[in-house]
Every structure is written in C-alpha cells, then in structure tokens.
Chains A and B, each alone.
Chain A
Amino acid sequence: MQAFDQSKEDASSDIAALLAGAVSDGASARQVAGMVASAFRGIDQALVPIIGQRGVAALYKRSVHLAKRVHPWLPRPREGVHPAMDVSALTTELALQAPAAAAAAGDHLLQTFCELLIGLIGSSLTDRLLRPVWAILLSGASAQESTP
C-alpha cells in the first residue's frame, strides 16, 4: 500500500491505484462497488455540513452526467424534493459490472466529481476538505491489507 500523499492529484491517483490493486488482487465487483460507495459517503459527510445536501447532490448529478459519456450505464441520481447523492443505486449498478469495469467507472466518477469541485473552489480548498476522506479510505485499505 502506498503512503497517503497530501496533494489532491496524488490522492486521487492513490484511489485509482487502490481500486486497480483490488481488482488485480481478485476483488469482486461488489467489493469494488463497496469501496467506491464508501468514498462517496465520505465525500458526502465532508461536504454536506459546508455546502448543504442540495449543493452536494447538484455536484454529484453533474458528475454522473459527465461520466455517463464514457460509462452510459451509470445510474441517474433520483430527482425529488430532497435531492441527495444516490450512493445505493450506484453501488447496485457497479456490482453488476465486471470488476475492472466497475473500478474504471467508479474511479472516473470520483475523478470527475473532484475535478468539478476543484474547478469551482480551487485545488487547495478541495484538498483541504477532502483530504480526510482519502486518508480514511486509504488507511482502511491499508489496515485490511495488513490484517493476516
């Protein structure tokens, strides 16, 4: 497991490496979907207090819209009075794909979301807000790896 780096580019490439590594280690699509889902739940937890449920939902919706150009099967977030990130629908759909395809789509969606946020509030603030999410994710993976 690589050490967690503080810069965003490295952090997201760490996530890409984490997903790819899991696939090559024989992880199932369901496991990959679980990792992607925990990443988005972490993002949701980090951002909702600051930009609100609606703000996060709008960013997620836009990210899915953009990522669907490459992965058209990604599920559209549900509309409604209380828009939110629809992580469970994403998990279900990712679990139906081949592990490599699920990892590629999950990584692409995460990258798109981060790039969108960076475009809006800059890489420094994005990194500041999301760093703990990546740290938990990568340390979790690291802990799993070190478990006998």
Chain B
Amino acid sequence: MTSKAIINRLATGVPGLDEILGGGLPEFSFNLIAGQPGCGKTTLAHQMMFALATLERPAIYFTVLGEPPLKMLRYQQQFEFFDTAAVNRTIRFVNLSDDAMTGDLNLVLKRITDEVTTHAPALVFVDSFRSVVLAGETGGNPHNGLQQFVQELGMLMTSWQATTFLIGEYFTETDGNPVFTVSDGLIWLRQTVQRNSMVRKMEIVKMRGQSTLPGLHTFRIGASGIDVFPPARVDVPTAASLNALLHAPRLLMGVPGLDDMLGGGLPRGYSLLVAGPSGSGKSILAAAFLAEGAREGQTGVIAAFEQHPNRSRSRSVADLIASGRVGLVENRAADLSIDEIVYMLMREIRRLDATRVVIDSLSGFELALAPTFREDFRESLSNLVTSLAAAGITVLMTSELEDRYTDLRFSPYGTAFMTDAIIVQRYIEVDSRLRRVMAVVKVRASAHSDQLREFSIDAQGIHIGKMLTHHEGLLGGRPTGKPAARPVGVAVTDPDG
C-alpha cells in the first residue's frame, strides 16, 4: 500500500479530450476554461458536466452575469448530450446574477459557499467567471479582488472535494492574470479565421500533475457536441512486426499483370503512390485494389476527396461501400484539419479492421483542408503514412500529375520520398491517338519490372498490354518509331528479380 495520495482521473465524455489531457481530468482539480466569446467554452463545460454528473457525483452549474441562463439553456438543450432528465436530479443550475449585480464579490462567494455546503456537489461550474470579476471591479487594480476571490474559491472547492471549472472570457494569455497561476488546469479555446474558413482549436496550456499533448488541437462542434481531434500517434513499428510484415504474403492489385510488374504484388504495410494526369485511370486502379481485397475477404477504407463524389465514384466502389466491405470517409464538413481526417480515417479502419486504405486523391485531400493547415500538409501526410504502415495497413494514394514532357515527375507534393512504391501513368501520342502507358517506378527493397507498358480501360477495368518496344521517347509524350522495330516482348518480370 502506498502512502501517497492517488489522483483519480475523470473521463470527460468529450471525444478526444482525455487523450490530449494526458489521460482524463484530475479529480478535485481547479480548472479554467478560457477563450473568446463564441469559441465553445460553455458547450465544453456542459458536455463534461452531463458526462460526469451522477447521483453520487452531482454537479452545480452557477450562472453569473453574461449569457442569460435562459438563452444558455435554449442553445445547450439542442445538443445530444443534454439530458433533461438529469436537470434537478444530478445537475442543478443556480443563477447568481442578482447577487453579482450588487457588485459585491463576497456576496457571490457566500452564495456559492452556501450552495456547495448544502448540496455537496462533486462538480462545480462557474460561468462566466469573468463577469464576476467585472461586477466586482470598483477601480484600482482589478486583480486584487479577483485574486482573493479565486483563492478563496479554490480553497473552498478543493476542501469540499469538488472538481471545479471557471469559465471565462480571456483575450490574452500574457496579462499575468492571477487566476492562471492559481488554477490547476487551463484549457484555452481559440478560433482562427483565414479567408472564409473558421477553425476551432484547443490548447491544454496547463494541467498539473500530468503530461498533456502539447500544441493546438482542432475540434469541431456538431449536434453531438464537441469532438477533439488529437494528432495521430506515430507508432514506430517493432522489429518483430516488421519481420511479420516482411514475411506476410503480398497484396494483389486486382489488375492482371500488374502484380508481376510489382515483383509479385504489393508488400503488406507499404504505401503506394499512383501518379498520373487527369483521366489516366488512377481511381480505377484504386477501385480494383479495394475490390481485390474484398475478393480475398479483406476490408478496406476509401478517403474520397472528389469534387463530385457520386459522379466520379466507380460502380464497384459504390457496391463495396454499400455492402459494408469498404468504409467511406468523405469531406462533408468544411474547413477540415488533417487531424480530423486522420481521426475519421482511423475510426473507419478500426471499425472495419481494414487492411487496405485508399486516399483518392492527395490533391483533393489538400483542397478539403482549411487554408491554415495546407502548409503542414506534407509533414502531416508523412505522419499519416507512417502511422498506417506501423499498423500494417497498406495504403494506395492517387496523385494528380500535370503531364509534363520535359521532366519526369511523380508527384506535385514531393510525396514520392515518403511512399514505398510508385506507379506512374502517362499519356502518349501514337498514330494520332492518345494512348496510356504505365510503369512501376519504385518498390522499396524489392525487385520490380522496369517496363513501360501500354494499358487500356474498359468496363471490366484496366488491362495491361505490351511494351511499345517499336517506339522510343515515350516519356517525352511524342514517341518516335524505331528504325528497326522488333516484335513486342511480353516479359513482365524484372530480369533481375
């Protein structure tokens, strides 16, 4: 038995919040929820309260000046977490506006003390705290009254074994506000606007006694309340898991001939970039990859970021989604953050225990992001790919590639370095016709074909044809016939492999 006090951690009931808090909220802590008006402070407080309050752990929500309680209830009751049956049972709302209007902080403190000692709540919320202070300001240093008030409140709440939240509008973190010093936890909510996009972010500035996830974490307020999106954890694969992946059978692509070109299919846990110009057949290749998985009893997830999903999605993918063998992640909401997309993706992967993932396309993915996240795109994508690979998931990403015939590019993002395998598709002009060619550019640590193969697309999918050995300069876009053309070879495997 230990002689040290054990600090229980409460599950907040806000998806993702416990993770960024570093394992939940310390019981009996004295916390501050700060941020500008409209950033979701009251909603966060309510969501936690409804999740935490029980008959054994009742809550009191003090409303002071500021948002009229009637209006607060009007908006909060719309959220799914707002359980009216809990009101006046496990949750009591107490209005202190009449006391606060007197400007006497001692009166407010007395009312709070009376309520707390009478009802012994385990959870106490004071909203808005700042208005208590404003009401008490009578000239001089506004921090004096505040400091005393907060210290007394903090002392009272801790000794009465109440986990407390002061909700307040604070505009700057640097004004040396004594509340920040007294509080055990400081949750700062922000909203940033760039062009026409608005993004909400949360920062755990401080949480005594535990290690929180640093930085700004995006969150969204929807009908169910607040969802926080912690960054995807990058798990470093163990030697054992890498070894297991290495010896696992490779994944088949669902396109006859392509597996041979890849040296026998795609190694499990690899990320494959399919790059090509618009209409070259990248999405069809991705659909074949998912369909092949389904044929083998594997589930998949597609993150689809097309402008017109219904128009461009292939029938086979639509059927797979409808049958539940492939999960769909779409950019329905505006101003997505990478963490949010990754969160949705991982949720689908876990739900379906998926082993194949398609991101179609990287260009659409980037466009779906709020402008403020675009500069982090490459780094976040790299994290995503690493996390998926560590989980043994095989990823196929498509990338729009502008057809340039003067240089050989595989990706507009410099994403090539982070992928394990690359397939490139190109258009070429032969006999006044636009024809397609495909090549496997890279399969990390594996032999693969170096052939540039013509391919065609019909209702059945992609058909890989022969090498155009009687032409040269294919990648320049305008091949020329060789003077002495020989019959076309059909070798599909790398001579070295």
Contact = CB atoms under 8 A, between A and B. Distances in A.
B93 A120 contact: no
A116 to B, nearest CB: 10
B248 interface: no
A32 to B, nearest CB: 29
B294 interface: no
Contacts of A50: 69, 73, 93-95
A80 B400 CA distance: 70
Interface string B57-71: 000000100001111
A48 B97 CA distance: 11
Contact of A125 (B71, B84, B97, B98): B84
A51 B69 contact: yes
A21 interface: no
Interface in A100-134: 120-122, 124-125, 127-129, 132
A129 B87 contact: yes
A125 B8 CA distance: 32
Contacts of B97: 52, 54
Contacts of B70: 51, 55, 59, 120-121
B73 A125 contact: yes
A129 B88 CA distance: 8
Contacts of B84: 122, 124-125, 127-128
Contacts of A51: 68-70, 73, 93, 95
B74 interface: yes
B95 A125 contact: no
Interface string B85-110: 10110001111011000000000000
A53 interface: yes
B224 interface: no
B77 interface: yes
If over half of B's interface residues share one DSSP class (helix, strand or loop), that class is named, otherwise mixed; here it is mixed
Interface string A25-69: 000000000000000000000001111111100010000000000
A125 B89 CA distance: 12
Contacts of A59: 70
B74 A120 contact: yes
Contacts of A48: 95
A128 B87 CA distance: 7
A contact residues, range:
10 to 19
B95 A49 contact: yes
A52 B69 contact: yes
Contact of A128 (B71, B85, B92): B85
A16 B3 CA distance: 64
A15 to B, nearest CB: 20
A48 B99 CA distance: 13
Contacts of A129: 87-88
Nearest to A82: B98
B83 to A, nearest CB: 9
Contacts of A127: 84
Residue in B63, B69, B85, B94 whose Cβ sees the most chain A Cβ within 10 Å: B69
A55 B74 contact: no
B88 A55 contact: no
Contacts of B92: 49
A59 B88 CA distance: 21
Contacts of B78: 122
Contacts of B82: 125
A66 B71 CA distance: 20
Nearest to A124: B84
Interface of B: 63, 68-71, 73-74, 77-78, 82, 84-85, 87-88, 92-95, 97-98
Interface of A: 48-55, 59, 120-122, 124-125, 127-129, 132
Q: Which 7 A-B pairs give the minimum distances between C-beta atoms?
A: A52-B95, A124-B84, A50-B93, A128-B84, A51-B69, A52-B97, A125-B84
Given A49-B95, A121-B73, A128-B88, 15 more contacts: A48-B95, A49-B92, A50-B95, A51-B68, A51-B73, A51-B93, A52-B63, A52-B95, A52-B98, A53-B98, A120-B73, A120-B74, A121-B70, A121-B77, A125-B77
10 contacts: A49-B92, A49-B93, A50-B95, A51-B95, A122-B78, A124-B84, A125-B82, A128-B84, A129-B87, A129-B88
